Amino acid sequence: MKMNRIVLITGATSGIGLACARKFAENGDKLILTGRNEHRLAEIKKELSAKGVEVLTLGFDVRDRDKAIKYLENLPAEWRNIDVLINNAGLALGLEPEYEGSYDDWETMIDTNIKGLLTMTRLVVPGMVERNSGHIINIGSVAGDAAYAGGNVYCATKAAVKALSDGLRIDVANTSIRVTNLKPGLVETNFSNTRFHGDTARASNVYKGIQPLTGDDIADVALYAANAPAHVQIAEVLILATHQASGSVIVRK
């Protein structure tokens, strides 16, 4: 189904965000891509533009509310009517017991996974309400359903994504806006490398003995939800690898 929507994706320089950018580009959508790495944004824009995709890049961290406001309130006129917002920017840091956790790690996760999502929602959704049209896709996690060992604060932030998604869906139920919460399980991206502060060897152990999901797998579901008929709202989807039963039950072979 070829579209010509304007799709804004946060955290679009890698992993699920980049996969979503490529999938929605293939679908004929125009893209607003945000991220902290402006060099990677430029590379991705070059890659997609070569395929005829219209791309606008915005280099900012969703934790920086002032920059987010500046960029979103000064979008060129032809980019202002955002049809799909994919709140993808997020991360996990550390795997220590809650009583030994890093204050800095806590703040980064809360500011990115919760406050960043809220900032983008606050900036984009009023326009959708005014136009009575739009779709918000929040990238949550299986971790938001139940805590796992060492997950504590990260799990809490993804539980917040579920609650915020549910709350927003209630808030816009009198409109034609749809809200989707995607909850991936084990996805092989740079997620674990980030969690372990660049310890690649430790990160690679996370995926040993199991075929994990890929960013493309999650992007496929995001695109399916976005392309569903207007009267169909894919409210929530839990996506797990075949040998993963929950956030904490993984069978390795």
Would you say residue 129 lies in a domain? yes
Would you say residue 253 lies in a domain? no
pLDDT band at 200 (very low <50, low <70, confident <90, very high): confident
Give the tens place of pLDDT for each residue, 214-252.
Answer: 999 999 999 999 999 999 999 999 999 999 999 999 999
Which pLDDT belongs to residue 3? 67
Which pLDDT belongs to residue 241? 96
pLDDT band at 191 (very low <50, low <70, confident <90, very high): confident
148, 149, 171, 193, 246 from 104: Cα distances, Å? 21, 20, 33, 17, 28
Which pLDDT belongs to residue 61? 97
Would you say residue 247 lies in a domain? no
Give the tens place of pLDDT for each residue, 57-102.
Answer: 999 999 999 999 999 999 999 999 999 999 999 999 999 999 999 9
24, 62, 104 from 225: Cα distances, Å? 12, 24, 35
Query: H-helix or E-strand containing 239?
Result: strand 236-239
What's the whole-number mean pLDDT along residues 23-29? 98
What's the whole-number mean pLDDT along residues 104-133? 98
Domain with 138 in it: what CATH number? 3.40.50.720
Would you say residue 245 lies in a domain? no
Catalytic residue positions? 154
Would you say residue 252 lies in a domain? no
Whether residue 205 is predicted with pLDDT greater than 90 in this model: the reply is: no
Whether residue 202 is predicted with pLDDT greater than 90 in this model: the reply is: no
Which pLDDT belongs to residue 198? 84
Give the tens place of pLDDT for each residue, 128-162.
Answer: 999 999 999 999 999 999 999 999 999 999 999 99
As for how many domains the chain has, the answer is 1
Would you say residue 86 lies in a domain? yes
Under DSSP, is residue 137 helix (H, G, I), strand (E, B) or coil?
strand
Which pLDDT belongs to residue 105? 97
Which pLDDT belongs to residue 213? 96
- How far does the chain reach from its first CA to its final CA, in angstroms? 38
Would you say residue 170 lies in a domain? yes
Whether residue 2 is predicted with pLDDT greater than 60 in this model: the reply is: no
Q: Which domain holds residue 74?
A: 6-239
Would you say residue 249 lies in a domain? no
Which among 18, 51, 56 is positioned nearest to 214, based on CA atoms? 18
> What is the average pLDDT value for the chain, to the nearest integer?
96
